[in-house]
Amino acid sequence: MSLINYASREINCKIVYYGPGLCGKTTNIKYVFSKVAPETRGKLISLATELDRTLFFDFLPLNIGTIKGFKVRFHLYTVPGQVYYNASRRLILKGMDGLVFVADSQTDRFEDNIESLKNLEQNLVSHDMKMDGFPFIFQYNKRDLPSISPVEELESVLNQKGAPFFEAVASQGIGVFDTLKEASKLVLRLLTTT
């Protein structure tokens, strides 16, 4: 839920990274944290298990800058991808303004992506949201690995609506900013039309 505060002159928007376990959501957000100018970022909060799997969420606030007198901020969240953390996953979607779906390109993860997308659709229902009701971006991650599905195949199965997509190697930072750039622009553009 974008929050526009005319009194304190602030605009806050929430972008959520979704996708199956180990697809690279946390890696995306950690890369952003490490590469963005320090004065623009807040603290990175990770609620994770001992083995570094996301348990509840990662959170990174970013100050985009002051535009026409308004401080614009993006709040990035990742959900836990593991199937049995669905209850927490659902909570993080609350008030989301835009979503990045990180898919794992590895062939043996193909079904996991489909599963996760279905799960997203179900979870949106509990927030009275629909798949086409907000900015949506696909990121096909792990393009560096040997056994991966061709992008066309991922596209045809996952991206039915023709949302923007990016190939990525999040662990090397490739495609991470491109994805976020597109997501944040779409979110801001939606503000103008609502």
Partner 1 sequence: MGGVSLFQDDFRLIHQSLEKLQQRTQANAILLIDRAGQLITSVGKTDKLDITSFASLSAADFAATKQLAALIGEEEFSDLFHEGERENIYVSMVDSKVILVVLFDKRSTLGLVRVRATQISKEISEIFQNIYKKLEEGGPTTTSIVDAEFTREAEEEIDNLFK
Ligand X SMILES: Nc1nc2c(ncn2[C@@H]2O[C@H](COP(=O)(O)OP(=O)(O)OP(=O)(O)O)[C@@H](O)[C@H]2O)c(=O)[nH]1
Q: Pick one of 33, 72, 81, 188: the residue that binds ligand X (CB under 6 A).
A: 81
Give the one entry of Mg ion, ligand X, partner 1, none that residue 186 binds, where binding means its C-beta sits below a cut-off of 5 to 8 angstroms depending on kind: none
Closest to partner 1 by CB, 60 or 158: 60
Query: Does residue 117 interact with ligand X by CB under 6 A?
Result: no
Q: Which is nearer to partner 1, 21 or 61 (CB)?
A: 61
Of positions 15, 18, 54, 103, contacts ligand X by CB under 6 A: 54
Dump the DSSP string for the chain: --EEETTTTEEEEEEEEE-STTSSHHHHHHHHHHHS-GGGB---EEEE-TTS-EEEEEEEEEEEEEETTEEEEEEEEE---SGGGHHHHHHHTTT--EEEEEEE-BGGGHHHHHHHHHHHHHHHHTTT--TTSS-EEEEEE-TTSSSB--HHHHHHHH-TT---EEE-BGGGTBTHHHHHHHHHHHHHHHHHH-
80 binds ligand X (CB under 6 A): yes
Cα distances (Å, whole numbers) of residue 121 to 104, 124, 130, 137, 190: 18, 5, 7, 15, 21
Alpha carbon distance 68, 20 (integer Å):
39
Instruction: Lay out the site mask for Mg ion across 10-29 (x = CB under 5 A, - = otherwise).
Output: ---------------xx---
Residue 64 touching ligand X (CB under 6 A) = no
Q: Which is nearer to partner 1, 37 or 152 (CB)?
A: 37
Nearest residue (CB) to partner 1, 87 versus 156: 87
**Closer to Mg ion by Cβ: residue 4 or 47:** 47
Q: Which does 149 bind (CB under 5 to 8 A by kind): ligand X, partner 1, Mg ion, none?
A: none
CA 191 to chain centre: 18
Choose one: 35-43, 110-118, 119-127, 139-147; the region binding ligand X (CB under 6 A): 139-147
**Positions in the binding site for ligand X (CB under 6 A):** 19, 21-27, 53-54, 78, 80-82, 141-142, 144-145, 169-171
